[in-house]
Structures are given as C-alpha cells and as structure tokens.
Amino acid sequence: MTSSSIAFSNSWEEICTPRTGVAQFTRLAFQGADLRPAWNALMETVTDDVPGSGMGMDLSVIAQLLGDKDTGLAIQRDTLKIQQLYRLNPEQGVSRLRVLAIAAASDIGANTPIEFLVEGSGVHLATYYVVPGAALPNPMPEHDVAIVVAPATADGKDALDAVDAMADAWPRPILNRPGDIRNLERDRLFHRLQGIEGLVIPATERARRRDLAAVAARELALTSVLADGAFPIIIRPPGSHAGFGLAKIDDADGLRDYLSERPEEELFVSHYIDYASEDGRFRKFRLVVIDGKAFACHMAIADEWKVWYLNGDMAASIPNRIEEAAFMQFFDGEFASRHRGALTAMARAIGLDYFIVDCAETREGDLLIFEADNAAIVHDMDPPSVYPYKSAQMQKIFSAFVEMLCRRSRKSCAA
C-alpha cells in the first residue's frame, strides 16, 4: 500500500486508542512514586482488543520503569499486533495543532520523548508505531505536521526505512527526515562535522571486534582502525548512552581487558580529548537545537572526564547549580555568542529540525562535540526547590518547539 492510497480521518477518537503515555508515568517514577498500584489496576481491567490496547501500552511503560524491560517489550510487541495508532488522553482546552509522531517499536528510551515537549501546549499528539511487516494503517489520523521520532540506532531502522518509502508522497510536512537522523550515528556525525571552523569533534570510527583484538594483541596498529590513532582512546558500544559501556583505554592491555568484558562484535572508537577547564574540572553542556537555533538545556560539572548529569553532583552542590543557572541566564550573550559560527554551521550540516547535542569547550576555546541525538530526553521534572532556575528555561524550549511545529505546518498557533 502506498501513501497516496491512504485515507486520512479527522475522527481520532475512532482510529487512535487513548493512553496515559510515557511522560506522566516517567514523572511519577522520577518523583519516587510507587507504580505498582497503577500496574495492578491496569492488569485488572486490560483487555486483549483495540479498546484495551492503550492500557497495554501503559503497562509496557510501567514495566520498563520498574526495571523489567523484557516484560515491557513483550507486552508492547503483543499490543502493537492489535493497534499501532495511539493518542494521549485529551488535555483540557482547544487543540491548536495536530501532530503525528512516527515512532519505532522499541523501548521507552529509544524514540524522541515528544510528549514532554508538547505537554500542556494544547497540541493534540497521535503516535504511529511502525511494526516491521505490518501494513500502514488505513485510515491514518489527519494531522497538520508529522515528525519522525525514531532513533538513529538499530532500533529505529525499520521505522526510518518505512518513512523513506512514503515520505516524498506524504501529503503533509514531515520533520526530522530519516536520512538526516541516520547521520547522527557517531562515525557518520564525525565525517559530517569535521572541518567546521571553531568546532572540534573527535575522530570516530566503527571498528570490528576482531580488529580491536588484534590491536590489543599488538598484532595490528591502532591506526588501522582509527586514523592517526594513538592511545588513549574512547570506546563504547553502538547505541549506548549515559555512560553504558563507555571507557577510556590507555594502552593495548587496557583494550584487551575491556574486550574481555564486552560481547559486542562492533564498537565505536574515538580520540580522547582532554577538555578539563583551568580548574581541573570537566564541564559538559547539553544544547537543544530547534529550527537551527540553539538553546541551553543543562550543564553538568564533575571531577572526572566521564560526565553526565546524574554523576555531576548537581543536586548536592550549590556552587555547581549557581554556575548552571548563570549558563542558562546568559547563554545567548555568552556561550551561544562565542560559538555562533560553529553552532550555525553545525545545525546546517546536521540538517534536522530538532536535535540535541552534548558538547564542551576546549582549552583553546573551540566548541567540542561529543554526540548529537534526536531522542535524548528534555524534560521539566527537576524539583523547583532545588533548581528554581530550570523551569523557565525548559518552558522556553518547549514553546520554541511548538512554534517550530506551527511554522512548518503553516498553521497559526495563536491562542
């Protein structure tokens, strides 16, 4: 079935099953709530049919948040055999915009968490989960704009391929096109961004395990897997985030030890760049880029090179939070101004309507890029009693995202 033969229906209530969704359950888990009563209540009422499929998807989310990913994905797999179209339980107020998210059938951390970005905005959100081998639902929900939320990793391949097959004939604007999402893979991103003035990105390649084992055995030069390669290097599994499987390898013996603990047949290897500030601490920034404009998302500070927000002692350190607040408050006039040319060229080279970038500053003052991603979480869940400066910045990002959707849909979003 081709996209030109698909009908579109305004009756979302008839073709899209309501669900509570990822954002609400994630927020409860983030606040320390016990999700088991919600699980038990849904288990008592869920049915094995289209009306019950929304409860099935919510059960999948809860299972994953409770740490049982296998059960959650099994529930989702069975549920998506029944229904592929879902909508959030309707908010109060009049809808200003209808958005169709095209998602991969994967875990809750794989797709762009778009629910957080449009929550409370009056946007009506429907999600189509692409199931390998399943036909495109007919009818599809009528919408003003579509956005691909599937990831660049292997989890997103089927969804990205499906969008590729229908995108050119799709009658509505589609944002975050698959080709640009695929270029977010670490090795592709390096080749796409290298050479931009004022921007540094570590040389990164996808290496086969057998070649790395030969390097570890000193039978093969490191330069055979990483051009101009020299220890130390950074190594990680494809698709990994938040430090999973991430290590700095100082020599061949360290590489041998790392491989003895990892099962992957392919791994990303990259140059290690020491980005410590003058005080010896490491500062890592997360930016959100919307329609080519960068926004501050967060800043993490740590005493070691391997930094992400949860190990940055931000909640426990008032000085760290004061520095993050200043980063947000003066972002446009300071950080974004210093790196204006590099940020503009980077956004143009990546080409996505919406993406996230993790970065730092080198001692020479260049913008150092670690990774870009379309699926990293951007949220407003941090307690205002600890982070009183954050909510206003997150709302600024959310508003910019919705405004971008409106511009691309050519529909007025005036209240």
pLDDT tens figures, 273-322: 999 999 999 999 999 999 999 999 999 999 988 887 666 678 889 999 99
Domain encompassing residue 253: 203-271
Verify that 361 and 238 share a domain, yes or no: no
Verify that 152 and 66 share a domain, yes or no: yes
Verify that 23 and 166 share a domain, yes or no: yes
| Residue 252 pLDDT grade (very low, low, confident, very high; cuts 50, 70, 90) | very high
What lies within 8 Å, CB to CB, of 11 at 6+ separation is none
Bridge partners of residue 330, in order along the sequence: none
Average pLDDT of the residues in 199-211: 94
Interval 25-35: pLDDT, tens: 999 999 999 99
With H, G, I as helix, E, B as strand and everything else as coil, classify residue 390. Answer: helix
271, 299, 331 — which closes off a domain?
271
Cα angle, residue 298 at apex, residues 293 and 302 outer, rounded to 5°: 135
User: Per the domain annotation, does 197 fall within a domain?
Assistant: no
Verify that 303 and 259 share a domain, yes or no: no
The C-alpha atoms of residue 265 and residue 204 are separated, in whole angstroms, by 17
271, 295, 321 — which closes off a domain?
271
CATH number of the domain where residue 354 is located = 3.30.470.20
DSSP state at residue 297? E
Verify that 74 and 147 share a domain, yes or no: yes
- Output the CA–CA distances (angstroms, integers) from residue 345 to 15, 158, 175, in the order listed: 42, 30, 19
Task: For strands 354-361 and 282-290, give the pairing.
Answer: antiparallel
The C-alpha atoms of residue 97 and residue 89 are separated, in whole angstroms, by 15
Verify that 43 and 15 share a domain, yes or no: yes
User: Per the domain annotation, does 249 fall within a domain?
Assistant: yes
Residues in the chain: 415
Q: Which letter, b or e, does each residue of 293-303 get, where b requires 16 or more Cβ atoms within 10 Å of its Cβ?
A: ebbbbbbbbbe
Verify that 11 and 130 share a domain, yes or no: yes
User: Per the domain annotation, does 277 fall within a domain?
Assistant: no
CATH number of the domain where residue 261 is located = 3.30.1490.20
Verify that 118 and 46 share a domain, yes or no: yes
Verify that 20 and 127 share a domain, yes or no: yes
Q: According to the 3-state scheme, what is the secondary structure of 323-368?
A: HHHHHHHCCCCCHHHHCHHHHHHHHHHHCCCEEEEEEEECCCCCEE
| Residue 91 pLDDT grade (very low, low, confident, very high; cuts 50, 70, 90) | low
User: Per the domain annotation, does 39 fall within a domain?
Assistant: yes
Verify that 244 and 297 share a domain, yes or no: no
What lies within 8 Å, CB to CB, of 208 at 6+ separation is 225, 265, 266
pLDDT at 410 over 80: no
User: Per the domain annotation, does 354 fall within a domain?
Assistant: yes
Interval 33-83: pLDDT, tens: 999 999 999 999 999 999 999 999 999 999 999 999 999 999 999 999 999
User: Per the domain annotation, does 318 fall within a domain?
Assistant: yes
Average pLDDT of the residues in 216-240: 89
Whether pTM > 0.85 for this model: the answer is yes
- The more confident residue out of 290 and 153 is 290
User: Per the domain annotation, does 195 fall within a domain?
Assistant: no
| Structural domains of the chain, count | 3
pLDDT value at position 90?
Answer: 59
Verify that 47 and 164 share a domain, yes or no: yes
The C-alpha atoms of residue 87 and residue 127 are separated, in whole angstroms, by 6
How many helices (H) and strands (E) in the chain? 15, 17
User: Per the domain annotation, does 396 fall within a domain?
Assistant: yes
The mean pLDDT of the chain is 92
218, 240, 271 — which closes off a domain?
271
Verify that 347 and 376 share a domain, yes or no: yes
What lies within 8 Å, CB to CB, of 205 at 6+ separation is 187, 190, 225, 226, 227, 268, 269, 270
N-to-C CA span, the chain? 38
